[in-house]
Chain A
Amino acid sequence: MEMKITKSAELTMEWRQKKGKKPLSERLIEGFIKVAGLSSIVLILAILFFILKESYPFLVGAFDFKEFFFSENWNPASVVKISYGILALLVGTVMVTVLSMLIAVPLGLACAFYISEFCSPKVREVYKILIEFLAAIPSVVWGFIAIMMINPAIIKIFNVPVGLNILNASVILALMSLPLIVSVGEDALRAVPETYREAAEALGATKWEVATRVLLPAAKNGLMAAALLGVGRALGETMAVLMATGHAIQIPESIFEPGRTLTATIAAELGESPKGGEHYQALFAIGLVLFILSLIVNLSADYLIRGKRK
């Protein structure tokens, strides 16, 4: 690409060479942006430091690696033997996250394709408003929907003893992460240059072929980012999963069994455990596990998207 340097730009360049440095306003703005960029890194480190500080006495005290990761007995209020095992919570978290993404990612991406490629502008506006509306529902309300509506429905449809289970939470989470996946996915598709579409159509491709053979590969990174943002949303959701999973400490044998997640455990117990006590510290240790989990998800997302570029 050839860039034509305009007259005014030339003048500015000359002036700069004369001065030898940028004007003050520009340096101020640059400095401000630099600080803003660095502050997020500092914040993340501060959060990590805080979690470590709160959980440190537990990590060097009652923490037992084998029990913590391989026992399913999470019983901090026991009168017989207090134990901190998060295996059941870990399994619950992974199950709910994976299943909700199996529902939400195909649905969300299909929705994004429809909105950006297949529907008329009028329908698009209505659709977008409806999807945004999903994002506006607070998570406690989702929890009540889980208990009052999805729970009896699951009991009836699948003929199981209880409807608050892994499946219920996954359905709720899928609905909650849809708006994010759809809007980010749609942006990724919009970002594909119009020339691609025109070229493909000039070669006689149908709409369907354009979408699957041209747009999908072209927008792959953006769509992947959309899916992984959804995973992050599912991993971090608290209140709705607390209500929808049934919050039972056990390793679910199927998706129709109640389970429990790491986030919900923190939410349910932190408020009532005495500040600075062992139970309180153990909950922060769970926070640390969550921190590492989401770090892994983000890093692998980064790696995937970068790896694809090469």
Chain B
Amino acid sequence: MRGIFLILFLMIGCTKQSNVHIIQNKGSDTLVNLAQAWAEEYKKVNPNVALAVSGGGSGTGIAALINGTVDIANSSRAIKDEEREEAKKNTGKDVNEFIVGMDALAVFIHPSNPIEGMTLEEVACIYGEGGHCLYWHDIRGIQVPGCKDNKIIRVSRQSNSGTYQYFREAILGKKRDLKLGSMDLSGSRESIDLVEKTPCAIGYSGMGYLNPHVKAICIKKTPEADCIQPTVQTATDKSYPISRELYMYTSGTPSEEVKAYLEWTQTERAHAITIKAGYVPAPKR
């Protein structure tokens, strides 16, 4: 009996001693690597605050914000009005938006593919519903070595990932679907891995995931425009046509710890991490 009391006493003692403030941070898979790298660094800046970072997708993060189970929701798309209203209804607080960085979606192909650049229209012809480009020779008569039948293998993402939804909107606008029958992988990593091994393939993902084994192509807004490569520079000045803001959302006015962290993400030290992870620091406001 005494032993049990002793154990209970010890347990209570153990939970008391740590006063580390934990910030729950959840959401976009695009942002998860960056958020984790920031969290690692922030531990050194402020040891009394620990960030619990998890992915799951922008939708998941925002859903958690609506339910009030996270402090910061990461999202690679702007929050929808109905989501804002629902959060207000559920938690009684307004949603606060912070732009923490920029992301450019790169369109990439196998290195043996001779294409250097494409117009948005050509990309839409490959990916869009009703687009007739099924073979590489439908695009300016391109022949891809090592690709059987010269067929285009479309690599895409599952239909509720933020990357998918942003790509669809950037390429096709708000009123057109992507063609069914693409290979819908569940992560940017997998997309890159697959295109790297498949000469016929074309894929898209956040710029941060690019590696030397795939070839990112430059994008033209219109056939007459300059062909722009996805780089830190072109994403920041918005000349690259497929670039977007990355957001962090809080419910109501953030607590002191959360506010300090969000401000820290815009310091020189955090920007260095952003660039290293393949993203672009948010433009100064």
Interface of A with B (CB < 8 Å)?
A: 72-80, 144, 147-148, 151-152, 155, 159-164, 242-243, 246-250, 258, 260, 267-269, 271-275, 279
CB distance from A89 to the nearest CB of B (A): 12
A75-B177, A79-B175 given; A160·B185 CB < 8 A? no
Decide: B174 and A79 in contact? CB cutoff 8 A: yes
Decide: A272 and B181 in contact? CB cutoff 8 A: no
Query: Chain B 140-180, CB within 8 Å of chain A: the 1/0 string?
Result: 00000001110101000011110011001000001111001
Pick from A151, A161, A249, A273: contact of B180, CB under 8 Å: A249
Residues of A contacting B194 in the complex (Cβ-Cβ under 8 angstroms): 147, 151, 164
Is B33 part of the contact surface with A, judged by Cβ < 8 Å? no
30 A-B pairs (CB sep. < 8 Å)? A77-B165, A79-B174, A79-B175, A79-B177, A80-B129, A80-B177, A144-B193, A147-B190, A148-B193, A148-B197, A151-B194, A152-B198, A155-B197, A161-B147, A161-B151, A161-B153, A162-B153, A162-B183, A243-B186, A246-B183, A247-B184, A249-B180, A250-B180, A269-B158, A269-B159, A269-B160, A272-B57, A272-B161, A274-B59, A275-B63
Decide: A164 and B159 in contact? CB cutoff 8 A: no
Residues of A contacting B219 in the complex (Cβ-Cβ under 8 angstroms): none
Decide: A271 and B181 in contact? CB cutoff 8 A: no
Is B182 part of the contact surface with A, judged by Cβ < 8 Å? yes
Report the nearest B residue to A256, measured CB to CB: B148
Query: Chain B 200-231, CB within 8 Å of chain A: the 1/0 string?
Result: 11000000000000000000000000000000
Interface of B with A (CB < 8 Å)?
A: 56-57, 59-60, 63, 129, 147-149, 151, 153, 158-161, 164-165, 168, 174-177, 180-186, 190, 193-194, 197-201
Q: State the CA gap A78–B147 with chains docked (Å).
A: 31
Q: State the CA gap A147–B196 with chains docked (Å).
A: 10
Decide: A268 and B129 in contact? CB cutoff 8 A: no
Residues of B contacting A249 in the complex (Cβ-Cβ under 8 angstroms): 180-181, 184
A75-B180, A272-B56 given; A163·B160 CB < 8 A? no
| Given contact pairs A74-B180, A148-B193, a sample of 17 additional A-B residue pairs in the complex whose CB atoms are under 8 Å apart | A73-B180, A75-B177, A79-B176, A144-B193, A147-B197, A151-B197, A152-B198, A159-B148, A161-B147, A161-B151, A161-B200, A162-B198, A242-B186, A247-B184, A248-B183, A268-B184, A269-B158
CB distance from B83 to the nearest CB of A (A): 9
Q: State the CA gap A80–B200 with chains docked (Å).
A: 29
Residues of A contacting B177 in the complex (Cβ-Cβ under 8 angstroms): 75, 78-80
Decide: B183 and A272 in contact? CB cutoff 8 A: no
User: Which of A77, A250, A272 has the largest count of B CB atoms less than 10 A from its CB?
Assistant: A272
Pick from B159, B164, B201: contact of A75, CB under 8 Å: B159
Pick from A73, A159, A164: contact of B183, CB under 8 Å: A164
Q: State the CA gap A244–B59 with chains docked (Å).
A: 25
The 7 closest A-B pairs by CB, nearest first: A77-B159, A272-B160, A272-B57, A250-B181, A246-B183, A161-B200, A268-B158
Q: State the CA gap A245–B169 with chains docked (Å).
A: 27
Residues of B contacting A148 in the complex (Cβ-Cβ under 8 angstroms): 193, 197
Residues of B contacting A74 in the complex (Cβ-Cβ under 8 angstroms): 180
Report the nearest A residue to B180, measured CB to CB: A249
Residues of B contacting A268 in the complex (Cβ-Cβ under 8 angstroms): 158, 184, 186
Residues of A contacting B168 in the complex (Cβ-Cβ under 8 angstroms): 79
Pick from B63, B153, B175: contact of A80, CB under 8 Å: B175
Decide: A248 and B59 in contact? CB cutoff 8 A: no
Residues of A contacting B180 in the complex (Cβ-Cβ under 8 angstroms): 72-75, 249-250
Q: State the CA gap A248–B165 with chains docked (Å).
A: 17
Decide: B200 and A272 in contact? CB cutoff 8 A: no
Decide: A248 and B181 in contact? CB cutoff 8 A: yes
